[in-house]
Amino acid sequence: MQKNLKAMRKYDAGLILVTVLAAVAFVFVLMNLSPATSLSPRYSQLTYLKEGNRTPLDFTSVIQTPANAWSPISSPVNLGMDTDVYWFSMIVEPTQSSQSRFLLHIDYPLLDNLDVAVYSQVGTKPVMTYSSGDSNRFSDRPIAHVKPLFPLPASAQSQRVIIKMQTSGSIRLPIRVWAETEFIEYTSSRNLVLGIFFGILLAMGVSNAFLTVTTKNVSFLFYSGYVINLAFILMTLHGYGFSYLWPGSTWFQSKAIIVFANATIMFAALFTRSLLPIKAYSKKLDSVTKAISWICGLSIIAGLILPYWLMIKAFLLLLSLVVIFILSLGVWMSLKGEVVARYFTIAWGFLLVSGLCASLDNVNIIQLPISSNNLLVIGGAVETLILALILAINYSHSRDDLIDAQQFALEQEKQANIAKESLLEVQKRYQDDLEYKVQERTLELEITLRELSEVNQELERLNAIDPLTGAHNRRHFDKRLRSEGRRSRREQTPLSLIILDVDHFKKINDEYGHDGGDACLIHVTNVFQKLIHRPTDDLCRIGGEEFAIILPNTDLDGAYHVAEKIRHCLQGSPLEYEGETIMLTASAGVSTTIIANEEQAQSLFKFADECLYEAKASGRNTVIHKHLQEKL
């Protein structure tokens, strides 16, 4: 911030010099463009008559009004704001020759109704009448000029000119009688300067509108809106708007001053908020500035509906308050140390004071030695120039701050990258060390897990093995039966189950003891296992002397054949135990089905067990085989 302040102060001398030179130049030019005071006015006996509540007059009756009813007045006439009809009378001197004529020039374009009648010295009826004013179309004017201009007929004698005027604004009548050649010289140079002035304003407005797009800075947009509306209001005050932009719209001509004036103040308030850091110092003042823009925006809409005389009075009151507020705000922020506010106050001082003076002059509160329109041009030109320089300087330093911030950020980022690289090196070193240790521990863990898996597999195998016979136990049988049941249901293949029971095993236990019984069970298991050849077939000991054989994808005949073969082989393979021969036989129940649901595998087991009991009841050493569907 300090760097910005020092840099901004370098522009002090330049701005002040530009301000002074611009003010002097515009005052010099416009003063020289005013009508030369050395020329004679070419008219005399200027008087006026207010119609008021009396009987309405016309150009025939007004000429008969007594002389003592007329009040003398001097030009430029300024009677303030009044909506009554006013009549003005004057005597114009004779023309120098019959080849030349005079032009009656009213140097104020904002008059609603303006009628002119020319009388000869001996006549009571006008020899020439004209109509002009904003209530008539521009094309109906006697001479297509930006301000009311009337040709006076050539006459060797003096002529009386009577003007009838009625307007909703100020009763102003700056009268000048010109010779045609003088008027052409005057208007050519004046129009050139004003054309250049309006061209510069519009060019600045358009260029700043483009800068809004390229810089994304809203200040340029508000400044552009302000400058363009200022140009339009000055063009309206000088008559150029009605002459060239909306010549056929008398309605808009009556509203143009209110619309453009309020739009100018609205954009000025928005520009002030964007240029000055008001909110950083006072939120209330920032809210007031924002409220001004809203009020002006609403006044634009109201101005299109409500009468001109009411809105112009409201605007003049609003303008007075805005002038005081903005100038006070600029001075206050300058005292707070804001350098931009100092230049801002100087710039706005020119326009706001000139605008206020012109407004007071229009309502006849003060009298100015210079035309109020010319005063506005001077103030607008100087203020626009200084604001453009301030905006450019402010944006330049904002860009410098941004560049400095970017360089600082880049330096910080560079330092951060160096620190990051160092950190990454340390991190990589520790990561490599950690990865080595992790790999080492992972390898040890994999070995441990593999050993544990082998132990678990062995434990699982041992948990599924009957410790006496070495055949699978009941736990394994239940799991395997469910699994093969699901496969049968999925593949729609038959599942067979053989349930075998050693005949008279209790008698063997009683005669040979439990050791003899265990020997018999081991012998039976060995015989059974020798007769089971398919890897999918599974022999399980499911009870004391009871065995089960699961035969996947085997029909009833195949299962019966296996069961019968086992029974026959066991019968022919007695056990030699402690010098004695123990004859062994077995009964079997066989059942087969294609599993249809989850519970049917258990039903198959129960039905095979029923077939086993039927075999025992049939005399033992027998195989009973049936389809499960026979039970269902």
376-405 pLDDT per residue, tens:
666 666 666 666 666 666 666 666 667 777
Q: Is residue 419 part of a domain?
A: no
Asked whether 615 and 622 are in contact (CB, 8 A), the reply is: yes
pLDDT tens per residue, range 340-382: 777 777 776 766 666 666 666 555 555 555 555 565 666 666 6
pTM above the 0.75 mark?
no
pLDDT at 549: 94
Most confident of 170-184, 381-395, 419-433, 502-516: 502-516
Residue 545 is among the residues annotated as catalytic for this protein: yes
pLDDT at 23: 59
Q: Is residue 426 part of a domain?
A: no
pLDDT at 8: 46
Q: Among the listed ranges 26-40, 196-210, 331-345, which one has the minimum average pLDDT value?
A: 26-40
Task: Report percent pLDDT > 70 for the chain.
Answer: 82
Q: Is residue 127 part of a domain?
A: yes
pLDDT at 26: 54
Q: Which residue has the higher pLDDT, 491 or 139?
A: 491
pLDDT of 529 over the 60 cut = yes
Q: Is residue 463 part of a domain?
A: no
CA distances from 98 to 42, 93, 94, 128, 152 (A): 16, 13, 10, 17, 12
pLDDT of 36 over the 60 cut = no
What band does 224 get if pLDDT is binned at 50, 70 and 90?
A: confident
Is the domain of 28 the same as that of 56?
Answer: no
Q: Is residue 405 part of a domain?
A: no
Q: Is residue 614 part of a domain?
A: yes
- Domain boundary at 129, 148, 173, which? 173
Tell me the CATH number at 82: 2.60.40.2380
Instruction: Pick the catalytic residue from 338, 383, 484, 545.
Output: 545
Asked whether 473 and 479 are in contact (CB, 8 A), the reply is: no
Is the domain of 370 the same as that of 244?
Answer: yes
Is the domain of 205 the same as that of 123?
Answer: no
pLDDT at 2: 41
pLDDT of 28 over the 70 cut = no
Total domains in the chain come to 3
What band does 527 get if pLDDT is binned at 50, 70 and 90?
A: very high
pLDDT tens per residue, range 412-421: 888 888 888 8
pLDDT of 550 over the 90 cut = yes
Task: Report percent pLDDT > 90 for the chain.
Answer: 20
pLDDT tens per residue, range 610-621: 999 999 998 899
pLDDT of 99 over the 50 cut = yes
Query: What element of type H or E holds 626?
Result: strand 623-627
Asked whether 169 and 309 are in contact (CB, 8 A), the reply is: yes
Tell me the CATH number at 299: 1.20.1070
Is the domain of 200 the same as that of 329?
Answer: yes
What band does 301 get if pLDDT is binned at 50, 70 and 90?
A: very high
Find the mean pLDDT for residues 266-274.
85
pLDDT at 4: 43
Residue 279 token pair: 């909110």
Q: Among the listed ranges 136-150, 180-194, 226-240, which one has the minimum average pLDDT value?
A: 180-194
Is the domain of 221 the same as that of 340?
Answer: yes
Is the domain of 212 the same as that of 118?
Answer: no
pLDDT at 5: 43
pLDDT at 371: 59
Largest CA distance in the chain: 181
Q: Is residue 273 part of a domain?
A: yes
Query: What element of type H or E holds 299?
Result: helix 283-303
pLDDT at 38: 47
Is the domain of 92 the same as that of 237?
Answer: no
Is the domain of 169 the same as that of 227?
Answer: no
The residue count for the chain: 632
- Domain boundary at 398, 420, 435, which? 398
Q: Using CA of residue 241, residue 242, residue 247, residue 248, what is the dihedral sign?
A: positive
Q: Among the listed ranges 206-210, 315-319, 568-572, 589-593, which one has the minimum average pLDDT value?
A: 206-210
pLDDT at 455: 66
pLDDT tens per residue, range 43-95: 888 999 988 777 788 888 888 888 888 889 887 788 877 888 899 999 898 88
pLDDT tens per residue, range 446-497: 887 787 777 666 666 667 788 888 888 988 999 999 999 999 999 999 999 9
Is the domain of 111 the same as that of 199?
Answer: no
- Domain boundary at 382, 398, 414, which? 398
Domain that holds residue 251: 10-36+188-398
Is the domain of 495 the same as that of 615?
Answer: yes
Q: Is residue 83 part of a domain?
A: yes
Is the domain of 341 the same as that of 481?
Answer: no
Q: Give the separation between CA 575 and CA 525, rounded to whole angstroms.
A: 12
All residues at 6 or more sequence positions from 86 whose CB lies less than 8 Å from its CB, including other chains:
48, 49, 50, 51, 79, 164, 165, 166, 171
Is the domain of 25 the same as that of 65?
Answer: no
Find the mean pLDDT for residues 263-281.
85
Q: Among the listed ranges 26-35, 273-282, 284-293, 347-356, which one has the minimum average pLDDT value?
A: 26-35
